[in-house]
Amino acid sequence: MYVFRNQSIEPVEKLHDFIDEFNFGIIFTGSMEATHIPFYVKRDEGELGTLYAHLSRANPQSENLDDQETLVVFSGPQAYISPAWLKTRPMVPTWNYAAVHAEGRASLLDAEGTLQTIEELMKIQEPSLLENRDIVTDEFRDSIIGYIVGMRIELRDIQGVLKLGQSDTADDQLGVVNGLSSQNSDTAAQLVNYMKRIKVGIG
């Protein structure tokens, strides 16, 4: 992952925080296959943490996933940045974004482990489903275990980048904040709100 100057996300706890917030990732394997799925991270497993997820057994990527090196990409807010918003001249258009890349070797889980990944993701996304079993009944949950397979990826490398104009002058940063705020765009709003919340690139 290319990370320029002061754009790195550190320490590892902040990388885990990023994954918790933007947990819908893309898993890539050496066969150039990729799948979009939600993940969760267990911070205390392994030196850099361990990712968990599950995918359909009908997905060809699941057939060759066990013991394979993987790259998982998590993307945060992103948006186009117009040079017209900056005082510095000359200037070119650019893009602001945040992302994390996590690498490790995948291991497929047995039925019990797969079931645990389902339960944990429900606990994270909608814990009420674990209390009201009228919607996701135990019987229905157990009936789909044969059609999905869980995985764990103990991380050997994890890097993150915040390219949010933090190297620009304060005036240019304020110009970007104002420019993003003036756009009738959900992506621009998500980015500027994120920048304000983490206090990066806002002047």
Residues 62-109 have pLDDT tens digits of 998 999 999 999 999 999 999 999 999 999 999 999 999 999 999 999
Cβ(81)–Cβ(187) below 8 Å: no
Domain spans of the chain, in order of start: 5-76+90-165
- Retrieve residue 16's tokens: 């885990």
Cβ(191)–Cβ(129) below 8 Å: no
Query: What is the per-residue pLDDT for 32?
Result: 87
Separation CA 198–CA 149 (nearest Å): 36
Closest CA to 52 of 96, 97, 114: 114
pTM reported for the whole predicted model: 0.95
For residue 141, pLDDT beyond 90: no
DSSP E strand stretches across the chain:
24-29, 34-38, 40-42, 50-56, 69-81, 94-108, 148-163
For residue 140, pLDDT beyond 90: no
The CATH number of the domain covering residues in 5-76+90-165:
2.30.110.10
Separation CA 36–CA 159 (nearest Å): 19
Confidence class of residue 142 from pLDDT cuts 50, 70 and 90?
A: confident
Separation CA 46–CA 42 (nearest Å): 9
102 conformational bin, left if phi > 0, alpha if psi -120 to 50, beta if neither: beta
Query: What is the per-residue pLDDT for 125?
Result: 95
Q: pLDDT tens for residues 152-201?
A: 999 999 999 999 999 999 999 999 999 999 999 999 999 999 999 999 99
From residue 74, give the alpha-carbon distance in Å to each of 31, 99, 148, 158: 20, 6, 22, 11
Average pLDDT over residues 3-19: 95
* Residue 145 CB contacts under 8 Å (≥ 6 apart), including other chains: 111, 114, 115
Query: What is the per-residue pLDDT for 198?
Result: 97
Query: What is the per-residue pLDDT for 31?
Result: 79
Percent of the chain at pLDDT above 90? 89
Percent of the chain at pLDDT above 70? 100
Query: What is the per-residue pLDDT for 168?
Result: 95
Burial 38-67 (b: 16+ CB within 10 A, else e): ebbbeeeeeebbbbbbbbeeeeebbeebee
Separation CA 174–CA 203 (nearest Å): 5
Compute the mean pLDDT over every residue in the chain, rounded to the nearest whole number.
Answer: 96
